[in-house]
Amino acid sequence: MTVDVTGDLMPAPARAAGAIHPLWLRVTHWINAVAVVIMIGSGWEIYNASPLFPFTFPRDITIGGWLAGALLWHFAAMWLLAVNGLVYVVLGIGTGRFRRKLLPVRAGEVVADTRLALRGELSYDDLTVYNAVQKLFYLGVIVASIVIVLSGLAMWKPVQLWWLAALFGGYEPARYVHFFAMAAIVGFFVLHVVMAFLVPKSLRAMITGR
C-alpha cells in the first residue's frame, strides 16, 4: 500500500493498471449498499407499526417480520452503516478524493449537465471524472446519510443524547426528519442503480476498480 501524489491509497499494481476506484472506496461502497438495504427494509417495518402518514409499506418488501424483529435488524445494521460510513468520509477527506472528485459543484454546470442528461447527450467516456449532476447527487446522499444517522441516534437514545434530540426539535420532529432523509436516499438509490445499469462500464469499475 502506497500513497501516490494525488493522495489516493491504492496498491501499486492497481495504480499501475490505472484503477479508477481505489480498493477502500469499492469495499466501503458495497458494504454501504448492503447496510442501506437492511436499514430501509427494517425501517419500513418499524414505520408500519406506527405510520406517520396514511399509508404503510407492503409486508413483502420489509425486513424483520414484525416490530421487534425489525428493530433488531435496524440496530444491528446501524453499526455497519455508521462505522463503514465514517471510514468512507475520513478516507474521502483524508486522501483528498472528495476535494478532487466531488468539489466544487457549480450551479451553472449543474444546469448545463442536467440539460445534456435529459437529452441523453451526457458523456460517460471518462469515468475518472464525475459530471456536475453526479457530484451534486453524491454530495447530497452523503449529507442525507449524515442527517439520517444523527436523527436516528437522537431517537435511539433520546435521554442520553438529549442535546441531539433537542437539535431536531424533539423526538417527534426527529422522526419526520429521519423519514424524509430515508425518502431522499430511496430516490437517490433508484436513480443511481438505473444509471449504473445504463452505463455498465461504470458498474464494472466500481467492482474491479477499472
Residues that bind ligand HEM (CB under 6 A): 25, 29, 32-33, 36, 39-40, 43-44, 46-47, 50, 52, 74, 78, 81-82, 92, 97, 101, 127, 138, 141-142, 148-149, 152-153, 155-156, 175, 178-179, 182, 185, 189, 192-193, 196, 202-203, 205-206
Say how far apart CA 50 and CA 132 lie, in whole Å: 39
Q: If DSSP codes are grouped into helix, strand and coil, which group holds residue 10?
A: strand
Say how far apart CA 109 and CA 115 lie, in whole Å: 10
**Cβ–Cβ under 8 Å, residues 127 and 201:** yes
User: Bridge-partner residues for 2, per DSSP?
Assistant: 10
**Cβ–Cβ under 8 Å, residues 124 and 94:** no
Q: How far is the CB of 58 from ligand HEM (least distance, A)?
A: 14
Q: How far is the CB of 178 from ligand HEM (least distance, A)?
A: 5
Q: Which is nearer to ligand HEM, 114 or 202 (CB)?
A: 202
Q: How far is the CB of 76 from ligand HEM (least distance, A)?
A: 11
Q: Which is nearer to ligand HEM, 10 or 185 (CB)?
A: 185
Q: Which is nearer to ligand HEM, 11 or 173 (CB)?
A: 173
Q: How many helices (H) and strands (E) does the chain have?
A: 9, 2
